[in-house]
Structure 1
């Protein structure tokens, strides 16, 4: 299990949607570990849960194949390559950042603008097909732009769930599940209890103790618990937790996010870069590893917690309606992040706009891999400055 997912972790470029395609080829078509219907059920489950969908699908496949140890092996294999690369990038930026061409780093920030713009467009087409969901996304974006606090992000998610419940359709039909995973319900109960206990207790411990390590653990665990809609949505949550209190400069934050587009595996390994490069906490390898575990722990607990009850949960139209509203709200969260900090911190003049448009065209129409676009824009930013275009 570890070796299979390690190979995927080394080769799976392109973000969570591409990862799901790689998983289908590997586990449904080639190895036949899952049927098409079972794989579709796993995707539905992981879209329902907060957290990184592709990593959660991998954990669930691990559970189905080899129990809880299989989930850990799958996560370690898929996450290890990109986590190592992101920590190494953080250490290099801290040690030799002054020697790196500033315009090359600026080009990497522009990649982040293009990637998030692509994500906003794709998610809006998927989740905002009805006018009310589009209006919800715009209102959510406006709220986040005017009040860019972490608490407002939680409020926006709750607003989306509330709107979804108000607009629920009693005629919604949810099909029967075809997914069979032999995981005891007591495991699910324990996992959900631990998830909610940490979510409630960590902020209290951080506030009571004043310890910076407790604050970091709370920030990354909370970010991993509240991210609906895929890896890119973690950007505004982490930006509010890391940049706003001064743990890291906006410039380094965006450079790391740009670099995260060039590595395979889950986007949540951006947390390893943050933990290694932040001005608070242990930093380095210890800080990167700690933040990585903190942000992925909620995903593991939720997958283990919900799988035994999934057959009953998914049939409730009420939950489906709330999730539809949450999805509309997270489009607004990502739209707000596209404006601030991405656009306001990265785009300086018409040359930057040209590079962003070129990157969007390369990603959306030319279908170039993100790592190639990162390299191209890094070189493009340096070339424009060198030739004073």
Structure 2
């Protein structure tokens, strides 16, 4: 089963891709951001469903649908549009559009729509890859877009409940303020070329919500619920994750205190604290996938991966999410200070992390407090 998505908004395209994969896990999906790219992909191989935006950088998406209808009168065509007027619908009536998805769309309706239009059985499912010989090999083989971090226990149900009602910025803020997965996803989207106006960077969840708007923010957050491992189910892995979340919250609390004492904006520090354990959380989510596939993973091997692979996975996530450099520097300051041009915010991050370290160095803490202006 093959699906073609023509959408120039990378975050919406990724969300649609996640929706299709949640409905048909073996579907092969091609994404294009321009009409000419989509036409080339269509000519290369036939597909079973086309999802197409109306307005693209190089012309209307109807150009693709017209070419498809000349060759195939049966393939389902789904049009994404912000137009709801009668003339627009009549304009594309000859194309026999199977369904219209109005922007901003509601995920439950999109799920129901695509479930009805996608073939129920994938007769052309790709053969499964040979399993990795070890968990470490599995981690190394994962593509960047296959990496993520899990939601905290209970967040998934709350997120799905939000998806059943009109988007509300205050509710999203309340749910995502202390949730690393939601904060990371929305910060990444808000700082992307699709939504950033080229002005100030978004370094906090409130800024990201204002940049994206309620409906888009909710849709992007709901994309997390489509992850095969949105929350950890294994008791051992959940316990390991809880220890990570406790360290995150402890750092957030201490940074709030230090930011007030230093008269610094606490919001970027809070974001960095939420994400400073992303590598460890990613390892745990991948461990859940590994165990779900029937593979064995003892605690010794898991601990080895947490110590040996977390840093690399964190770097890959930062690159994939394209987090702003200033936020990356704050996250990195939890572990080590830059040798040159060290900003006060980074010093405060390192001070808070050092204060919470099991191996405290009194002389180092005193020096950091002086550098932060707290002596």
The answer, yes or no, to whether TM exceeds 0.5 is: no
Rg (Cα) greater in structure:
2
How high is the TM-score relative to the length of structure 2?
0.28
User: Which structure is higher in RCO with an 8 Å CA cutoff and minimum separation 6?
Assistant: 1
How high is the TM-score relative to the length of structure 1?
0.27
The structure where helix makes up a greater share of residues is 1
